[in-house]
Amino acid sequence: MKAKDIMTNNVVTVTEENTVKEVLEILLENRISGVPVINSDNEVIGIVSEADLIYRDRDISLPAYVSLLEGFIMLESMKKFEDKLRKKVAYKVKDVMTSLVVKVNENEDVHKIANIMLEKKINRVPVVDDDEKLVGIITRSNILKSF
């Protein structure tokens, strides 16, 4: 069985210019937990999940550092801190979305997709055609229904 056999074809999507509030309303209205972010060519450029939105309520702290010779050495990545802060104050989808998206081709085997989802600990996978255009989405419930 292939991805195209079990995927949901009517995919709810957003763009990187949608606001966080709009995405929240879309998730609640459609009773879904995440949406692909697409560009004007219908290519997947990110994904926004409930976890990304909940992240905004997370407490963040300054990176740990050590003072040394009137300077300081960061013990944690400043980039990680900046990413956390950006998500905390996000207004647009581009500031809160996950950019490294696991995608599968519409001809990928369902068992392989199930393994990918388990290994990567993800709940949904956008399905693309050979031109990298979004054609569907597979969620854990799609996988369960296929069995």
Q: Which residue shows structure tokens 């990918």?
A: 116
Residue 77: C-alpha distances to residues 21, 35, 58, 96 (Å):
29, 29, 18, 19
Average pLDDT (12-26) is 92
pLDDT at residue 107, rounded to an integer: 98
In which band, very low, low, confident or very high, does the pLDDT at 60 lie, cut at 50, 70 and 90?
very low
Average pLDDT (124-132) is 97
Q: Which residues make Cβ contacts (< 8 Å) with residue 144, sequence separation at least 6?
A: none
pTM: 0.75
The domains located in the chain, with CATH, are 3-146 (3.10.580.10)
pLDDT at residue 105, rounded to an integer: 98
Instruction: Count the helix, strand and coil residues of the chain and give each as a percent rounded to the nearest 5.
Output: 40, 30, 35
Q: Which two tokens stand for residue 76?
A: 């944690």
Residue 68: C-alpha distances to residues 5, 22, 33, 79, 80 (Å):
60, 46, 46, 21, 22
In whole angstroms, what is the distance from residue 52 CA to residue 72 CA? 31
- Per the DSSP assignment, residues forming a β-bridge with 78 are none
Residue predicted with more confidence, 128 or 68: 128
The predicted-structure confidence for 61-99, as pLDDT tens digits, reads as follows: 545 555 555 565 555 665 665 565 455 555 788 988 999
